[in-house]
Amino acid sequence: MVKNVRITYRRRHSYATKSNRIVPVKTPGGKLVAHYVKKHSHGPKCGDCKQALKGIKHLASKAYKNIAKSEKTVSRAYGGSRCAGCVRQRYDSIRFSSQVLDVSWGADHGCSIVRAFLIEEQKIVKKVLLEKLSKKKSEKTA
C-alpha cells in the first residue's frame, strides 16, 4: 500500500524480525499506524509426496489441539497423513503386483495397506465362520 514510510512500533520490541512484521495502514483520520502480521502456517503435508494435504486447515502447531478431529483429518483411509493420490498408488501397487508381498515388512510404502487388507480379510473370514456355526447350531436344535 504505502512504501518508505516511518512508523513507530506499537509494542516494545522494535526490531524488524520475522515475528515482528508490520504493515502500514492508513486510518480514516489520515494517520499511518502499524498493523502486526501473524506468521502463516504451511499446513500438514503428505508423508510420501510432500504436497500440502487438501481439506485440512493450515494452523500453527499449537492450534491443532483446540480444534475438532473432523477439521484435522479427511474421512478416508490415511486421512490426515497421506494424500488421495498416494493412497491410491499404494493400493494399486498391491493389487496389481504380487511381488510386493515378497518384500520384507519395513520401509516399503505398500506394507501397511497390505497389513490392513489382510486384517480386514481375517475379519470377514471370522464373520463367515461364525455364521456357519450359528446355522449348524440352529439346525441341531430344530
Give the pLDDT confidence of 30-85 residue by residue, as tens digits: 999 999 999 989 999 999 999 999 999 999 989 999 999 999 999 888 899 999 99
The enclosing H or E element of 98 equals none
Same domain, 28 and 69: no
Say if 51 falls within a structural domain: no
What pLDDT score does 111 carry?
65
Residues 111-127 have a mean pLDDT of 82
Biggest alpha carbon distance in the chain?
94
Residues 84/75, Cβ–Cβ less than 8 Å:
no
Residues 117-142 have a mean pLDDT of 88
Residue 122 belongs to what domain range? 61-137
Residues 87/77, Cβ–Cβ less than 8 Å:
yes
Q: What is the pTM of this model?
A: 0.53
Count of all residues that appear for the chain in the document: 142
pLDDT at 104 over 60: no
Say if 1 falls within a structural domain: yes
Same domain, 65 and 131: yes
Same domain, 68 and 124: yes
**What's the total number of domains in the chain?**
2
The enclosing H or E element of 85 equals helix 84-96
The enclosing H or E element of 34 equals strand 32-36
What pLDDT score does 94 carry?
67
